[in-house]
Amino acid sequence: MHTKQYKTLAIHHNGDYSGDIFITIDGQEIRLPFEDIKSFIADYVRDLRITSLEQADADEILEKW
Q: What is the pLDDT of residues 42-64, one digit of tens each?
A: 999 999 999 999 999 999 889 86
- Count of domains observed in the chain: 1
Report d(CA 23, CA 19) in Å as an integer: 13
pLDDT digits 0-9 by tens, 27-46? 899 999 999 999 999 999 99
Report d(CA 40, CA 42) in Å as an integer: 5
Please report the pLDDT score of residue 64 as a whole number. Answer: 64
Please compute the mean of the pLDDT values over residues 11-33 and round it to a whole number. Answer: 95
**Domain assignment of residue 30, given as a range:** 2-63
Please compute the mean of the pLDDT values over residues 17-21 and round it to a whole number. Answer: 95
Please report the pLDDT score of residue 61 as a whole number. Answer: 87
Please compute the mean of the pLDDT values over residues 12-28 and round it to a whole number. Answer: 94
